[in-house]
Amino acid sequence: MPHKEKFVHLHCHSQFSLLDGAARIPDLVRTAKELGMHSIALTDHGNMYAAINFYTAAKGAGIKPIIGCEMYVAPRSRFDKETKEDRSPYHLTVLARDLQGYRNLIKLTSLASIEGFYSRPRIDRELLQKYKEGLIVLSGCPKGEVPSLIVEGKYEQAKQVAFWYKTLLGEDYYLEIQDLGLPEFKKFNPLLVKLGKELGIELVATNDIHYVKKEDAHSQDVLLCIQIGSFLDEKQRLKLETEEFYLKSPAEMMALFSDLPEAIRNSVKIAEKCNLELEIGKLHLPHFQVPKGETPDTYLENLVWEGVKKKYAVHMRAVEKESESEEKLLLPPEIIDRVKYELYTIEKMEYAPYFLIVQDFINFAKSRGIQVGPGRGSAAGSIVSYALGITNVDPLKYGLIFERFLNLERISMPDIDIDFCFERRNEVIEYVAKKYGQDHVAQIVTFGTMAARGAIRDVGRVQRMPLPEVDKIAKLVPFGPDMTIDKALSSVKELRSLYEKDERIKALLDNAQKLEGISRHASVHAAGVVISEEPLTEYVPLQKIDENVIVTQYPMGDLEKIGLLKMDFLGLRNLTMIAHAIEIIKKTQGVEIEVEAIPFDDPKTYGLLSTGETMGIFQLESRGMRSLIKDLRPSTFEEIIALLALYRPGPLESGMVDDYVKRKHRQIPVKYELPELQPILRETHGVILYQEQVMEIASKVAGFSMGQADLLRRAMGKKKSKEMHQQKEFFVEGAVKHGVSKHKATELFNLCAKFSGYGFNKSHSTAYGVISYQTAYLKANYPREFMAALLTSVMGNTDKVTAYINECRRLGIKILAPDINESYRNFTVTQEGIRFGLSAVKNVGLAAVDSIIDAKKEAGNFRSLADFCQKVDSRAVNKKVIESLIKAGAFDSFGLGRAYQLSILSKVLGKVAAEQKERANGQEMLFQFESQVTSHEPPVESEAVIEEFPPEQLLRMEKEILGLYISSHPLEYLRDSLEGQTNTRIADISEMREGELIRIGGLLSDCRRITTRRGDMMLVANIEDLSGSIPLVVFPKAYEKCAALLNNDEVVVVKGRINRDMRTDEVNVVAETVEPMEELEKVRSLHIELVGIKDKHTLSRMKEILSFFKGEDPVFVRMDGRRIALGRNFHIDINPELVSQLEELLGGGAVKVEFRAVKKEPEPEEVTF
């Protein structure tokens, strides 16, 4: 410790004292450095979330980090969780003196959460006694036990408590003294000094830091209001009463405690005692048990060569001398070289255990029939991963590069993320926990942060600004994950103007900006799992997030820093759906499909993809993607890989996508800057699309090793100018040595740098392309089974179910209402089509569904409503359940109307109950006789004829009970009118930008009129078209003009803007105008695109074809950026032969048929003479 050190802050809260501390770690460390401090402690409330982040930041700044925690101490035992007293634990400042102390601090914070949580994570004296080694303990802030007792006037009791700590910890126990400008400090500080002298306990001065600079006090107060749900102007609320809780300079602290210089000196003394050194970067991979006589390296080699032979070996006949022959396996030399190189790299980096662990749990999953994805990320570029079954993508076949995954010039942990069937993912996690020990495996914490819009809304609320005003300001911030208030102020003129002109808005945005990005809550990472060599509490504190989930307190990045193995076990719905589809195919068609053996050259699959009808296909079903597929018309798997890489904001905005499509269809020539680029870029028609292509260019043109090429790729991706300049020099120099001119080399580097910003990881695109292809194959070849599995996978999402039901109808697959005999839990394939599952029926829980299925299995199909009521368990299947099933049409097959069955249900249930009571009384003979009668005939003869409900009422019942219309849709007869008067389907709104002006049409429902504070009327409703539904808001100004139209079941056209509700984050439409729908009819038109076609013979031939197919449909030609309507003498009758001839002449994709709705003209009156 340098002699200059005058004072050390030992009690500091960061933003990870959630919604209480407002100090960001980088700011805390930087300011400490600026103030000339050589040490600083971090003591967040009850957790160690930021310990590693803080440790590395402080080390990087040349400051000694002291890791601690302000712990909560239970007044009684940590297991006592009954009284108000148990909810009010004392505070205690605990610091790690050394590695032993750090490990004990980890154990204390873990047990505080896992065993002691009651309002707060709490330790008790028993735990302190057990884990005291290596700890320095301060008595705490005014909420500590000793200060609290002094304040309460219980000096002797306080003395006893302090004596207990002194006896336990000796010279490592200090009385913490603070002066934050509050009256209570003046009262108890002298008594604290007196107590210290009487017991021989030294004092230490601290400042209970909650923010970095004095001017941040207001931001911290706002943060506290957000946490407790109060307002800034409330008098009676929790707050830090002064502005003194900041990082004071040593001089300020010395002035504050000028009468107690020893309390200042002791802060330095404690800092000198604390010398914690963590081994950042040292691996702690779990121990993988290998067979006797093997090492992890040799065992990995054996498994890999075994896998390689299965994947690649060529069978050859070898003739022996005795004329007997035997099979001999031969491997191509390039495969042998690749395997040897990868194994050498893995062993050199000591990662063999990592690969053994991953292959073990993946092969466990496969052995249990759990669907595993073909790969994810750069791991798909490894032949070792492929040989071990970790991935299912041949890296050599698709030109994937190992160095993108691992290389000796970039030492980093391998990152293998795995997709599993989302229903069975937990089985794999349980296997891992059982194999390595429950205390060696945990899920990982993640933190929700205050994003730009959220911060504005939270701050606006605590400042009591009007909700509409705050919402307006928040919505001026563009929507997106990387958006900040600062970026919005720079890019949105209206926001900047309001900020500069209105002081209230300036205050709102300034406060929000200070809180933007601060962590607000801890939760479970969606996929992260950590596995350790020793029990986890040797390395990382744990926390109980809920009753059954324990997570690490360190987030994913910090776990990597301390050398723990973390992996993403992702649950992918599409894998579950594929598995389910394969089950259904086996059941309905007797065909066993091995998903990994699906042929990648299936014409039906490419035919489906070329049409762009890819609803339900993994990664290919968005509106924009469907449009791109139609344009591209992929004909090889490589083009599917390209599709996934192309459909991203960068390529779409840069014009790269159009360029790629036109080159594919030979509409523009493909050029290569150098001959060496042709083999690298041929697959992507001369476009640099993948990061791997940049690496190959650097290798082939500039002589880079693949490891160097990977460093170049990373530099280009990060766009760090200094690093880029250095890499450019290396590249140009290397290219010149290989015979390329300096000018050409510079041009090529700049081209690579430009495209690398958009370049995608080909390994990831290939692996996910496999799932896209598999789902497309199933849809093309087994549409009914595929759609049934798809519908089952989204059963809880009405919008998705609606969209996929519409797709079934487009495919000609009938969607059938639930049937009590044919339906099971999920959607079922029948001879007629796809039948709804019973679990989709409202009010019918899984217990009722299982009871119905069990009754069917035991006694066969139900023969009547009465038979059903007798056979099922009435405790699980009550009257409300049966009513819902009747309304859904589940009993329609019995030939009695829904109205009739609902009318007799009470009597049937009464009679069944009476019969069951008789059975219970032992009158079985009579019951058996009557039972036989009632099971065949209606138990209640209804003299009155019960007319069936009218069709529109039956439809409403379906909507009420199933959440959507099945047998028909009220808007079906208006389909053309809807398309003609709108420009947006409701299902597509989720993919559009907030604020976008759209025109939608549909049926109003759930209309609720609301009176505003000003007494004006407005409306909140739902609007539904054939694709889905969305909330609709009609504010007073628009409401006045269209109030008469705003009723349930009214069909209207709405012009409005896409909006995101600030409270629920739900997307809705805010209406500007609402009009009645007009009836329209559809007309066809032909659109021809002439790109670069000037040849007179071609144009003459085109005229001949058009003249041959004369008719009434108009023709439009686009050329030189203009759209020209051909005269009536060129109107044609559109048919497939015409389109085929034109495409043969002009090229694929040059001809499109469009349908347009126009106002239906009234039929002219017939006049007779």
- CA distances 861 to 110, 546, 902, 929, 976, Å, are 55, 43, 21, 20, 43
Average pLDDT of the segment spanning 634-651: 91
Amino acid 583: pLDDT? 94
- pLDDT tens digits for 740-750? 899 999 989 98
CA 114/CA 122 separation, integer angstroms: 9
Higher-pLDDT residue of 1104, 249 = 249
Amino acid 414: pLDDT? 83
Average pLDDT of the segment spanning 18-37: 93
Contact at 8 Å (CB) between 176 and 148?
Answer: no
- pLDDT tens digits for 756-769? 777 889 999 999 99
Flag whether pLDDT at 940 surpasses 70: no
Domain identity same for 1098 and 1068 = no
Flag whether pLDDT at 916 surpasses 80: no
Where a domain ends, among 1078, 1107, 1139?
A: 1078
Average pLDDT of the segment spanning 881-898: 92
Q: Cβ–Cβ contacts within 10 Å for residue 239, how many?
A: 15
SS3 category, 214: helix
- pLDDT > 90 fraction of the chain, expressed in percent and rounded: 58
3-state SS of 336-353 is HHHHHHHHHHHHHCCCHH
Higher-pLDDT residue of 1017, 722 = 1017
Domain identity same for 457 and 513 = yes
Higher-pLDDT residue of 1119, 248 = 248
Assess if residue 328 is contained within a domain. no
Where a domain ends, among 242, 273, 304?
A: 273
Question: 474-478, 666-670, 935-939: which range is least confident on average?
Answer: 935-939
Assess if residue 408 is contained within a domain. no
CA 576/CA 789 separation, integer angstroms: 9
The residue assigned the tokens 């001959």 is: 675
Query: In terms of residues, how long is the chain?
Result: 1169
Amino acid 724: pLDDT? 84
Assess if residue 399 is contained within a domain. no
- pLDDT > 70 fraction of the chain, expressed in percent and rounded: 94
Where a domain ends, among 749, 776, 803?
A: 776
Average pLDDT of the segment spanning 931-936: 44
Average pLDDT of the segment spanning 305-328: 66
Give this prediction's pTM.
0.84
Contact at 8 Å (CB) between 1084 and 1153?
Answer: yes
Domain hosting residue 146, numbered range = 25-273
CA 689/CA 706 separation, integer angstroms: 18
Amino acid 1097: pLDDT? 83
Assess if residue 15 is contained within a domain. no
Amino acid 205: pLDDT? 96
**What is the distance between the terminal CA atoms of the chain, rounded to a whole angstrom?**
116
Domain identity same for 610 and 697 = yes
Flag whether pLDDT at 323 surpasses 70: no
3-state SS of 353-373 is HHHHHHHHHHHHHHHCCCCEC
CA 987/CA 806 separation, integer angstroms: 11
- CA distances 1070 to 415, 1029, 1067, 1115, Å, are 45, 14, 10, 38
Question: 539-548, 648-657, 948-957, 1035-1044: which range is least confident on average?
Answer: 648-657
Domain containing 124 — which CATH number?
A: 3.20.20.140
Closest CA to 618 of 840, 789, 759: 789
Contact at 8 Å (CB) between 280 and 56?
Answer: yes
Residue 678: pLDDT band by 50, 70, 90 thresholds? Answer: very high
Average pLDDT of the segment spanning 681-697: 91
283: Cα within 13 Å, side-chain hemisphere: 15
Flag whether pLDDT at 547 surpasses 50: yes
CA–CA–CA angle 699, 634, 748 (5° rounding): 25
**Token digits for 996?**
């976008």
Longest CA pairwise span in the chain (Å): 126
Q: Give the list of residues 6+ apart from residue 393 with CB closer than 8 angstroms, or none.
A: 374, 375, 380, 386, 400, 763, 766, 767, 770
Burial code (b: 16+ CB inside 10 Å, e: under 16) for 1096-1132 equals: eeeeeebeebbeebeeebbbebeeeeeeeebeeebbb
Flag whether pLDDT at 1019 surpasses 90: yes
**Token digits for 1012?**
């505003």
1056: Cα within 13 Å, side-chain hemisphere: 29
Contact at 8 Å (CB) between 633 and 610?
Answer: yes
CA 413/CA 285 separation, integer angstroms: 11
Domain identity same for 1011 and 1093 = no
- pLDDT tens digits for 783-803? 999 999 999 999 888 888 988
Domain identity same for 1048 and 942 = no
Average pLDDT of the segment spanning 318-335: 63
Assess if residue 1015 is contained within a domain. yes
Domain identity same for 978 and 953 = no
3-state SS of 55-121 is HHHHHHCCCEEEEEEEEEECCCCCCCCCCCCCCCCEEEEEEECCHHHHHHHHHHHHHHHHCCCECEC
Assess if residue 564 is contained within a domain. no
Flag whether pLDDT at 585 surpasses 50: yes
Contact at 8 Å (CB) between 456 and 485?
Answer: yes
Domain identity same for 189 and 268 = yes
Flag whether pLDDT at 1121 surpasses 90: no
Q: At what angle do helices 762-781 and 603-611 cross, to 10 degrees?
A: 100
- pLDDT tens digits for 264-313? 999 999 999 999 999 988 888 898 999 999 999 999 999 999 999 999 87
Domain identity same for 1086 and 1046 = no
CA 475/CA 993 separation, integer angstroms: 11
CA 876/CA 760 separation, integer angstroms: 53
Assess if residue 989 is contained within a domain. yes
Flag whether pLDDT at 157 surpasses 50: yes
DSSP assignment of 991-1016, as one string? GSPTT-EEEEEEEEEEEEEEE-TTS-
Q: Cβ–Cβ contacts within 10 Å for residue 1165, how many?
A: 5
- Give the type of residue at 120: R
SS3 category, 420: strand
CA 87/CA 119 separation, integer angstroms: 6
CA 1065/CA 616 separation, integer angstroms: 25
Domain identity same for 1047 and 1101 = no
H/E stretch holding 833 reads strand 833-835
DSSP conformation class of 551: E
Contact at 8 Å (CB) between 727 and 721?
Answer: no
Average pLDDT of the segment spanning 1139-1160: 77
Flag whether pLDDT at 865 surpasses 80: yes
Flag whether pLDDT at 320 surpasses 50: no
CA 782/CA 790 separation, integer angstroms: 12
Residue 938: pLDDT band by 50, 70, 90 thresholds? Answer: very low
Flag whether pLDDT at 326 surpasses 70: no
SS3 category, 49: coil
Residue 1161: pLDDT band by 50, 70, 90 thresholds? Answer: low
- pLDDT tens digits for 373-397? 999 889 999 999 999 999 999 999 9
Domain identity same for 862 and 1009 = no
Q: What is the CA radius of gyration of the chain?
A: 36
- pLDDT tens digits for 198-247? 999 999 999 999 999 999 989 899 988 988 888 888 888 888 888 999 99
- pLDDT tens digits for 86-98? 989 999 999 999 9
Average pLDDT of the segment spanning 494-512: 92
Flag whether pLDDT at 1157 surpasses 90: no
What total of structural domains would you count in the chain?
6
**Token digits for 678?**
């042709």
Higher-pLDDT residue of 137, 755 = 137
DSSP assignment of 1048-1093, as one string? TT-EEEEEEEEEE-TTT--EEEEEEEEEEPPPEEEEEEEEEE-SS-
Flag whether pLDDT at 721 surpasses 70: yes
CA 572/CA 552 separation, integer angstroms: 23
Domain identity same for 525 and 655 = no
- pLDDT tens digits for 94-122? 999 999 999 999 999 999 999 999 989 99
CA 459/CA 989 separation, integer angstroms: 29
Closest CA to 212 of 495, 64, 499, 12: 12
Amino acid 282: pLDDT? 86
CA–CA–CA angle 824, 826, 827 (5° rounding): 100
Assess if residue 526 is contained within a domain. yes
CA 867/CA 203 separation, integer angstroms: 83
Q: Give the list of residues 6+ apart from residue 492 with CB closer than 8 angstroms, or none.
A: 476, 477, 478
Domain identity same for 977 and 957 = no
SS3 category, 980: helix
